[in-house]
Structure 1
Amino acid sequence: ADPLLRRSDRADFQANGMLAIAKRLKGNPRELAAKVVESLPADELIADIEVSGPGFLNITVSDEAIVKTLAARAADARLGVPYAEAPGTTVVDYAQPNVAKEMHVGHLRSAVIGDAVVRILEFAGEQVVRRHHIGDWATQFGMLIQYLREHPHELDHKAANDLAASGEEAMSNLNRLYKAARVLFDSDEEFKERSRRRVVDLQAGDEATIALWRRFVDESKIYFYSVFDKLDMENGDADVVGESGYNDM
């Protein structure tokens, strides 16, 4: 019969299988449990077994057995964790921040959980493909690019900060430009129309438009990686695939 072993608040483990055996044999579960205890050989694994209730076995493991098990795991580089018997390849899609926008708690939650899953799978021997599908392809980029084309002094200011910008500084630059462009986009119908045409240019691969778009993406990555570094996550350009990557398809 299934021993029905589980953790116990009265000992280390509790075995409840005697009830099923007694029902099958039409016997008294406490008496059967006592017979089992009497029949167990003495060894260094079990410190004590007590019959309780209708026939539960409360099992206490010896300190010596616990210490030996811990010592064996501590001496093993893998802490006793085996490799997967048939490892394969798993794609883990996580974090997914948006270009030119600050990461919010949803991105952080996804990043932490995704990184934990990646590490567990890799530790088991799985081949893991990390993927961050960043938001880098939408109307807002037409708006941002058009704004910079019409306000070149903002571009100069941004260029002067590019080399020094890192982490929050990079996102601060983008936030400043985004807010200014958004105000104009919401108040000026002609600018809004020009911005929409700029999205068409972006999708068509216009070189000048793509060059400005690329700067937004690169500066956003500086910020993304600074956040990932704080979370002790390993990430690189090879792991980042933007929505833009599907434009040609």
Structure 2
Amino acid sequence: MAEDEECGGNVKQLLSKLFGVSLRATVPGEPDVEPLIAACTAKFGDYQCNNAMGLWSKIKGKHSDFKGPPAVGQAIMKNLPLSEMIESCSVAGPGFVNVVLSKNWIAKILQKMLIGGIDSWAPRLPVKRAVVDFSSPNIAKEMHVGHLRSTIIGDTLARMLEFSKVDVLRRNHVGDWGTQFGMSIEFLFERFPNLEGINEQAIGDLQAFYKASKQRFDTDPEFKERAQKAVVCLQGGDTKYRQAWAQICEISRKEFDKVYKRLGVHLEEKVDIKIFLYSLSLLTLFRVVHTFPSFMFRPLQ
């Protein structure tokens, strides 16, 4: 098992393999028991296997050799395969099997990393593909520190997964169909009735643009009503409103990309078309449902 212990995954994964062998030998009648491996308090060791109590509740009365969880823990320890990564084992409390890792083994692995790079001992993850959805800034508004936190954490997770040979889909959810967009679109129509000449220079500062539309929304009842109707038109697929929505999204996207470029963050934006299709499908479903008699939609008994 030496080769597996050098490149078979992280410490927890390697210990799970060893304890899996032990558990199958300890309770052959319970082949599907998953090893419960966790870090433990330093005075007891480095890691511990916590299966004894759970196993005892399953096999109580079936195995006369075991008088309680501590006896199960002793059996688990006894059946543990010899391994260069384990220096010593002990059983404490209700059957906790504590493990002290071998310092020589740790030194060997660290030396291997220094010589061959961490890639020579990267964890083998069970997943082949993962979706990391992060950043998700608000359209027509500047990014704030909350988005920065999400962006850094998401990018870090994506890089770690990619390093472990996982196919990562980096997704950035920037879609918005609510009142916020109704305000922005209606304010845009006031400034550019024919939607001509709309660009980042025309709109200027996004945050100032949003604040101005929000102030009108809060103080002008007529503008508020038009903004609410704008949301309905946008969600209903009106071409003019979709065009305005797309232009605001594009201007916002360019501002976001400046931040991403500075941080060295790569994101794939796939949301716009999905939101578009989703909204159309909901609208179509709504229209179809209304063509059927009400008795066809009785609650299930």
How far apart, CA to CA, are the structure 2 residues paired with 1:242 and 1:188?
34
Task: For residue 189 of structure 1, report the CA deviation from its aligned partner.
Answer: 0.8
How far apart, CA to CA, are the structure 1 residues paired with 2:215 and 2:46?
67
1:76 is aligned with what amino acid?
G
How far apart, CA to CA, are the structure 1 residues paired with 2:249 and 2:278?
16
How far apart, CA to CA, are the structure 2 residues paired with 1:148 and 1:183?
14
How far apart, CA to CA, are the structure 1 residues paired with 2:218 and 2:263?
36
Q: Compared with structure 1, are the counterparts of its residues 69 and 200 closer, same or farther at alpha carbon in structure 2 (3 Å cutoff)?
A: closer
Query: SS in structure 1 opposite 2:130?
Result: strand
Task: For residue 193 of structure 1, report the CA deviation from its aligned partner.
Answer: 0.8
> 1:190-215 CA deviation, whole Å, 9 max, x = no partner?
11111111111111222221111111
TM-score by length of 2: 0.53
The question of whether the paired residues in 2 share the 8 Å contact of 1:131 and 1:241 is answered with no
The question of whether the paired residues in 1 share the 8 Å contact of 2:123 and 2:164 is answered with yes
**Residue 119 (structure 1) aligned to one of 159, 168, 172:** 159
Q: Compared with structure 1, are the counterparts of its residues 239 and 80 closer, same or farther at alpha carbon in structure 2 (3 Å cutoff)?
A: farther
Structure with higher RCO (Cα < 8 A, 6+ apart): 1
Q: Compared with structure 1, are the counterparts of its residues 127 and 241 closer, same or farther at alpha carbon in structure 2 (3 Å cutoff)?
A: farther
> Which runs of no fewer than 5 residues in structure 1 stay unpaired?
16-22, 25-57, 163-169
How far apart, CA to CA, are the structure 2 residues paired with 1:159 and 1:101?
15
Q: 2:291 — aligned with what?
A: none
Structure-to-structure mapping, 1:216-235, within 5 angstroms = 216-235=248-267
Q: 1:102 — aligned with what?
A: 142
Q: 2:122 — aligned with what?
A: 81
Q: Compared with structure 1, are the counterparts of its residues 93 and 194 closer, same or farther at alpha carbon in structure 2 (3 Å cutoff)?
A: same
Q: Compared with structure 1, are the counterparts of its residues 156 and 207 closer, same or farther at alpha carbon in structure 2 (3 Å cutoff)?
A: closer
Query: SS in structure 2 opposite 1:183?
Result: helix
Does the alignment pair 1:129 with 2:169?
Answer: yes
Task: For residue 99 of structure 1, report the CA deviation from its aligned partner.
Answer: 0.3
1:233 is aligned with what amino acid?
V
Query: SS in structure 2 opposite 1:247?
Result: helix
How far apart, CA to CA, are the structure 2 residues paired with 1:125 and 1:187?
54
> Which runs of no fewer than 5 residues in structure 2 stay unpaired?
1-21, 23-38, 48-69, 72-99, 282-301
Q: 1:151 — aligned with what?
A: 191
1:128 is aligned with what amino acid?
V
Does the alignment pair 1:248 with 2:280?
Answer: yes
- Percent identity, aligned pairs only, is 35
Count of aligned pairs: 203
Query: SS in structure 1 opposite 2:265?
Result: coil
Q: 1:55 — aligned with what?
A: none
- The alignment yields a C-alpha RMSD, in angstroms, of 4.2
Task: For residue 236 of structure 1, report the CA deviation from its aligned partner.
Answer: 3.4
The question of whether the paired residues in 1 share the 8 Å contact of 2:172 and 2:268 is answered with no
The question of whether the paired residues in 2 share the 8 Å contact of 1:94 and 1:110 is answered with yes
How far apart, CA to CA, are the structure 1 residues paired with 2:186 and 2:229?
9
Task: For residue 87 of structure 1, report the CA deviation from its aligned partner.
Answer: 3.6
Does the alignment pair 1:193 with 2:233?
Answer: no
The question of whether the paired residues in 1 share the 8 Å contact of 2:130 and 2:169 is answered with yes
